[in-house]
Amino acid sequence: MGQGMSEAVPGVYVTSALVARQGKILDEFGITHVISIQAKPISPFKHREYLLIQAKDHISQDLLQFTAQCNDFIHNARLNQGKVLIHCVEGKSRSPSIACIYLMTITGISWSDVINSLRGVRTLVDPNFAFQRQLKHFYDQHMVNERERLFSKFGLFNMIDKDISFVMKNLALYNEEQRRRLTGDFSDVDKIYLLTKNNSTALPLDNIAKTEKVQEANSDLNQFFPNLDLRPMTPESQNLLDEMFSS
């Protein structure tokens, strides 16, 4: 878990450029649409639809400028029974951020919960601090308007409740992992409470899933971003962000 194809919501995956180059894997997952986010995007496969976003993993990069373009691409694909792959180089910063923007727009769930839900299925997720600030800014200032724009353009979306449940399930996985790291309790877990929009349901984990979680808990802790406290910004970085949001 956390290195290959990571499912953010049904039919939307986050991964690395290495996986995105593997046509056989994309075929196995039924990927029809790809968002490639790199300074130099990869060469596309001809039988898939691509959106090429030239963006760097850098504090000066404004990802929010691609919001409508990426949201439309993802949403249109899903409405037409397509499956979307979002990748950058590692699947760590840029692609999870773009996925987070879409998930916030669809579900209305906060940026921090969405990022942690992605960490629930992809432990290496760690947007750079400037992207985290952009995600917070989007949720606070633009999410409602973007949500209205998207639904006005494409109509009502009947998978909202399912997407909310999926995000909350992955968030519960993350929270359980954090609890186990803090307590040192790596014993087998019979049940994990998966929150949904209206209630909570206890779902049993099968033996394979439980084994994977025990193995994941013993992986390198340095890969995991334990909380969302933002690292201090230098004056230069703050100036870049002020300029980014001043227009």
Residues assigned a catalytic role: 88
Dist. CA 176–CA 244, nearest whole Å: 36
Q: Return the residue matching tokens 């519960």.
A: 172
Per the CB < 8 A criterion, the answer to whether 101 and 67 are in contact is: yes
Which residues, listed in sequence order, are joined to residue 49 by a DSSP beta bridge? 33
DSSP 67-112: HHHHHHHHHHHHHTT--EEEE-SSSSSHHHHHHHHHHHHHH---HH
Cβ neighbors of 144 (< 8 A, separation 6 or more) are none
Cβ neighbors of 229 (< 8 A, separation 6 or more) are none
Phi, psi of 123 (to 5 degrees): -65, -25
Rounded alpha-carbon distances, angstroms, from residue 96 to 121, 124, 156, 210: 11, 10, 25, 25
DSSP 3-state percent helix, strand, coil across the chain (nearest 5): 50, 15, 35
